[in-house]
Amino acid sequence: MADVLINMKKQPMFLSLLIRSIILAFCFAHAVAELERFEHPPKADGSLSTLVIGDWGRRGTHNQSQVALQMGIIGEKVDVDFIISTGDNFYDSGLTDVNDPAFDESFTQIYTAQSLQKQWYSVLGNHDYRGNAMAQLSPILTHRDTRWLCLRSFIVNSEMADFFFIDTTPFQEKYFTNPEDHTYDWREILPRKHYLSNLLRDVDLALRESGAKWKIVVGHHTIRSIGLHGDTIELVAQLLPILEANDVDLYINGHDHCLEHISSTDSPLQFLTSGGGSKAWRGERNTDESIFYYDGQGFMSLEIGENGIDIKFYDIGGNVIHKWSRDKSFYSFM
């Protein structure tokens, strides 16, 4: 009887220890969580070609179809391996659900060239968060069009180059404190401080562990820009120091509906805006600090080879309107 009483007295302590162990195990598992990774092998010679488009989904209007046409032509010339979307994939307010016809009308039926039947890696923009953000992340869309892959944050490993895709919309304070007439889909984001802290930690860790020759970060929002939206102060304060500390080569974004190239004055980092996928010509320009600024529609190509990296911007006619190259021993403007 005494033994039974002793065991009964020990049960509360045992349960307490068990609960603590479960909580610690959960916290540890969350602490070591990593960004999801995808392998995308380069060509047989080790080279890699991508196209970059942003701020595009308008059912073919505002010259979206014309930009898509030129993307198909250039995609064939450079033998493109995959396409990057910098967000604001569907206007004006993302998708309503996984059955929204806008997915077909703004994506599948627009980017029809054979060269564009490759993998698309996409991030969400602020307009995407104004709709059903979870719909764009759903594998159901991948079943509808196998090219489509959209996640909040993830990594694409391609041997000599690593691409780090980052969910930048939750960084902007105004979307939470002053959303105006918009409603944002913050499912899986709240509590925001916790979400951002984990994301920054995971990005920093992934960049530090990367052994790739080229480190390229993709997000929707600008870090540096002379366009309508200008610099995103939250990213300048929180993300930029991580990129500079980890020797990131390129930060590629959309958000400003233009084509733009700014060179960092503090590091080799280049800021590249490809947000001219459809509606543009806003007539806004804050300063003259950029290397290149074009307030019109277009897109960007990125070619990575053994000896370096080549970047080109194209207008709606497929004309090269800016180009830039670098290797690891020097870089040059052209």
- pTM value? 0.88
Taking the mean position of all CA atoms in its chain, how far away is CA 95? 18
* Cβ atoms 201, 157 nearer than 8 A: no
| pLDDT of res. 113 | 98
pLDDT of residue 333: 42
User: Quick one: three-class SS letters along 100-161?
Assistant: CCHHHHHHHCCCCCHHHCCEEEECCCHHHHCCCHHHHHCHHHHHHCCCEEECCCEEEEECCE
pLDDT at residue number 4: 43
First CA to last CA across the chain, in angstroms? Answer: 90
> Residues 232, 87: contact at Cβ < 8 Å?
no
Task: Find out whether the peptide bond into 204 is cis, omega within 30 degrees of 0.
Answer: no
Residue 269, amino acid: L
pLDDT of 32:
40
Mark out the alpha helices in 173-322 (DSSP H runs): 174-177, 192-209, 233-238, 240-245
Least Cα distance to 90 among 133, 119, 153 occurs for: 133
For residue 58, what pLDDT is reported?
Answer: 98
| Known catalytic membership, residue 62 | no
Q: Exposed, middle or buried by CB within 10 Å (0-12, 13-18, 19+), for 145?
A: middle
Candidates 188, 178, 183; CA nearest to 138 is: 188
Q: Which residues of the chain have pLDDT under 70?
A: 1-33, 282-289, 329-334
Whole-number Å distance between alpha carbons of 312 and 315: 10
Catalytic residue among 229, 257, 261, 322: 229
